[in-house]
Structure 1
Amino acid sequence: GVKAAELADVILIAVPTLVENGKPKIDAVKDVAEEISMGIKRGDIVITECTMPPGGTESLIPLLERSGLKLGEFGLAHAPERVSTGTAIADMTKKYPKIVGASDSDTLEAVIGLYEAINEKGVIPVSSIKAAEAVKVFEGVYRDVNIALANELALWCEEQGLDVYEIIRAANTQPYCHIHLPGAGVGGHCIPVYPWFIISSAKRNMKLLKTAREINEEMPKHVVELLVRAMNESGIPMKGSKVLVLGLTYRGGVKEFYNSPAIKIIEELKKLGFVVHAYDPLCSEEDAGIFGVSWKSDFEDIDAIVVATDHREFREINLEEVAKKVRHKIIVDGRRVLDREKALELGFVYLGVGCVSG
């Protein structure tokens, strides 16, 4: 708040930046900028660390100048977080160099000194605040497009009776090939959001970025389509059948639900008349209630299992014990965490993203 700004020489802004209807939503950042404007002093430096749409940090200047100071009397910089949920401290101090762009050379020098003191990997200064913003956004866009490529190739492998994971592993032994892994969808506050920071500000039609978003957003529905296929091939009616969704969080090892593929998977399952249960080692019965499903930590009388999240604990599931408890042996593995060979050996129908042959 104002008091904190008065006491500080350097103010870091790190609040969520979101997307609403394909447009960046940085209201929280603006609220902070407006509040601290009443406390900043000559010589202070304001740094945005949250991922910003290119141009977003500089849009704060009029708010900050409500302090009565002009830009130059205070410094402005962008130094985007390059961290993952669950490993933030290690990431920011030991894993990646810090990207920094600033409003002037003196501010840049000061901010470089600040981050060099805490980051073992050093600092990479860039030419402007907007360039620093673009660096972080590009990182996320690359991952989104690469995952979309993996997902598209996975769909082709399903048609051809091939295992996309086997092929990607082999292809990636070539140093110029870096195909990501396909899966049930892309979630979180980062990868599904950042492409819109580019798309929304572009003067041209960003076809590739839009297509990548469409592909990745369709993957949860595709997982459900695989289940429908398995149910039909097994002659089991969908209406009233019990499905256990393994995983509610958007990725393994992290309790975060924002944009989780499990949300769409559960919605689609309900539309088809399935009775949906869920289990997640990081969650509780109350969390399942948020998704509108009942909590179930065993496999008793389950008709189908759908893996939505790649939690490490799921790799340790004893399929022999599961086979004794389920009513029907159907697995749709959206994250390739269960032992496919073992599942087939035990008589399960096993369909995975990028691998549907038995």
Structure 2
Amino acid sequence: MKLMGLSREEVKRAFKNGEFTIAVYGMGKMGLPLAAVFADHGANVIGVDINERVVKMINNGENHVKEEPGLDELVRKNVEAGHLRATTDGVWAAKQADIMVILVPTLTDERGNMKLGPVYDVAEKISQGLEKGDIVITEATMPPGTTESLIPILEKSGLKPGEFGLAHAPERTMTGTAIRDITGQYPKIVGASDEKTLEAVIGIYETINKKGVIPMSSIKAAEAVKVFEGVYRDVNIALANELAMWCEEHGLDALEVFRAANTQPYCHLHMPGAGVGGHCIPIYPWFVINLAKKSNPRLVKTAREINDSMPHHIVELTIKGLNQVGQPVKGSNILILGLTFRGGVREFMKSAAIPVIKELKEWGANIYAYDPLCTPEDAERFGAEWKEDFKDIDVIVITADHKEFKSLNLKEIAEQVRNKIIIDGRNVLEPEKVQKHDFIYLRVGSI
């Protein structure tokens, strides 16, 4: 059933009655939850992925994205009900579908230069099955203007915009909370190529999202929303980091000051820390920087520099801690707690641990590592030796906020270490409890 030209209420009824088919391209951490949610609300859904193992698992009712609560049941239930299936044949899926959603990985280098091969490849496949009245939606986060660059590829179908619809509805999800985020944590942002497409796409997302939809004036405006969200976070974390280091210089506790300041409703100081990692926040600012022509986004550039410098500051704090006990860095045993870029997620993109390990090794330290989500092979890959105890350690450096680190047995640790020094790069510990066991405790913004 083609949706262009239908009102949003007509689309909602058709959705719940299973009268149209959605193909979701990309069955990863964001794509599979979206496909399962679509299916759970009544649509016929085809998941498309190049990984044959992933496709086979989905068709067997198995979820391969294990860090997503509730997804096991959602996949199993909807596969058994016949609402969800998967394939590696993207052309076939396009021929079956009325709506095609692109949510494949958008790869970048460290400065946000895009490698959009997977997106263009999907667009090529869709063009071979695109029919009049179909709608193509990009959800993958890309530099503003990217979605409309797919038009020449989609026109290979023989159709022109207006005969098919094009829209951008950026995913606003996090690993571990994707289902919650898709179904109602935040409103959905939507921009489309024309009013008929916009009306239909609003109907699609209002069906699955309790918080509703915010329609934008253009596709490019919708793309900018997601990018600006990431830029806001990056700039404000950089401000927090800069103020925290000023507090160190002036003998203040940054967290004490921040908490008090944030009781004023116009102040929203973020948490300072060891660095900004992941595929999103440290990357999206480069979209703005790289696309600037006459403008010069100096604040955005400076924020990137500050946040990228924070792992070095963690090394400085480590040296400061060792100096307090008269221990040289060279030959010290340093345990890094947390290899991933944030707690609860096994991802390493721009993890603070990686440059911290590298710089401390250059100082001649012996580097050990532990992460509850990782393996000894992961530690070895980043230049550290795996260690699950604290025996003979001189400094403990926390670089990820895993929940396991919040409940460390400090009494037992104090009995094992050679020197009692903790550098808390994620503010996971309570200072009073650490100091009770006579540790030297340093963190970003501490006195």
Q: How does 1:84-123 map to 2 (within 5 A)?
A: 84-123=174-213
Q: How does 1:13-52 map to 2 (within 5 A)?
A: 13-20=102-109, 21-52=111-142
The answer as to whether partners of 1:19 and 1:196 remain within 8 angstroms in 2 is: no
Q: Secondary structure at the match of 2:100?
A: strand
1:263-321 CA-to-partner distances (Å, cap 9, x unmatched) read 11111111111111111112222222222211111111111100001111111001111
Superposition RMSD in Å: 1.2
1:203-248 CA-to-partner distances (Å, cap 9, x unmatched) read 2111000000000000011101110121123211211211110111
Alignment match, 1:146: 236
The answer as to whether partners of 1:18 and 1:193 remain within 8 angstroms in 2 is: no
Amino acid aligned to 1:24: M
The answer as to whether partners of 2:112 and 2:284 remain within 8 angstroms in 1 is: no
Q: Which moved more, 1:302-311 or 1:284-293?
A: 284-293
Alignment match, 1:290: 381
Q: Which moved more, 1:331-340 or 1:123-132?
A: 331-340
Shift of 1:333: 0.8
Alignment match, 2:279: 189
Q: Tell me the TM-score normalized by structure 1.
A: 0.97
The answer as to whether partners of 1:247 and 1:308 remain within 8 angstroms in 2 is: yes
Find out whether 1:225 has 2:300 as its counterpart. Answer: no
Identify which of 94, 97, 112 aligns with 1:5.
94
Shift of 1:255: 1.4
Q: Secondary structure at the match of 1:117?
A: helix
Aligned length, in residue pairs: 356
Find out whether 1:319 has 2:410 as its counterpart. Answer: yes
- In the alignment, the residues of structure 1 paired with residue 173 and residue 260 of structure 2 have an alpha-carbon distance, to the nearest angstrom, of 29
Shift of 1:201: 0.7
Q: Which moved more, 1:26-35 or 1:294-303?
A: 26-35
Shift of 1:347: 2.0
Percent identity over the alignment is: 67
Shift of 1:77: 0.2
The answer as to whether partners of 1:54 and 1:134 remain within 8 angstroms in 2 is: yes
Q: Secondary structure at the match of 2:181?
A: helix
Find out whether 1:135 has 2:225 as its counterpart. Answer: yes
The answer as to whether partners of 2:314 and 2:423 remain within 8 angstroms in 1 is: yes
- In the alignment, the residues of structure 2 paired with residue 104 and residue 291 of structure 1 have an alpha-carbon distance, to the nearest angstrom, of 49
- In the alignment, the residues of structure 1 paired with residue 183 and residue 363 of structure 2 have an alpha-carbon distance, to the nearest angstrom, of 48
Shift of 1:343: 2.2
Find out whether 1:71 has 2:161 as its counterpart. Answer: yes
Alignment match, 1:340: 431
Find out whether 1:210 has 2:314 as its counterpart. Answer: no
Find out whether 1:254 has 2:356 as its counterpart. Answer: no
- In the alignment, the residues of structure 1 paired with residue 380 and residue 97 of structure 2 have an alpha-carbon distance, to the nearest angstrom, of 42
Shift of 1:142: 0.5
- In the alignment, the residues of structure 2 paired with residue 22 and residue 45 of structure 1 have an alpha-carbon distance, to the nearest angstrom, of 28
Shift of 1:353: 0.6
The answer as to whether partners of 1:184 and 1:334 remain within 8 angstroms in 2 is: yes
- In the alignment, the residues of structure 1 paired with residue 299 and residue 407 of structure 2 have an alpha-carbon distance, to the nearest angstrom, of 38
- In the alignment, the residues of structure 2 paired with residue 211 and residue 16 of structure 1 have an alpha-carbon distance, to the nearest angstrom, of 27
1:61-117 CA-to-partner distances (Å, cap 9, x unmatched) read 111111221122111000000111111111010201100000001110110010011
5+ long unaligned stretches in structure 2: 1-89
Q: Secondary structure at the match of 2:208?
A: coil
5+ long unaligned stretches in structure 1: none
The answer as to whether partners of 2:358 and 2:383 remain within 8 angstroms in 1 is: no
Identify which of 291, 300, 308 aligns with 2:399.
308
Q: Secondary structure at the match of 1:244?
A: strand
Shift of 1:330: 1.0
The answer as to whether partners of 1:304 and 1:331 remain within 8 angstroms in 2 is: yes
- In the alignment, the residues of structure 2 paired with residue 260 and residue 309 of structure 1 have an alpha-carbon distance, to the nearest angstrom, of 8
- In the alignment, the residues of structure 2 paired with residue 255 and residue 19 of structure 1 have an alpha-carbon distance, to the nearest angstrom, of 19
- In the alignment, the residues of structure 2 paired with residue 168 and residue 291 of structure 1 have an alpha-carbon distance, to the nearest angstrom, of 34
Amino acid aligned to 2:334: V
Identify which of 260, 265, 272 aligns with 2:356.
265
Amino acid aligned to 1:353: V
Shift of 1:41: 1.4
- In the alignment, the residues of structure 2 paired with residue 340 and residue 269 of structure 1 have an alpha-carbon distance, to the nearest angstrom, of 25
Q: Which moved more, 1:236-245 or 1:118-127?
A: 236-245
The answer as to whether partners of 1:331 and 1:350 remain within 8 angstroms in 2 is: yes
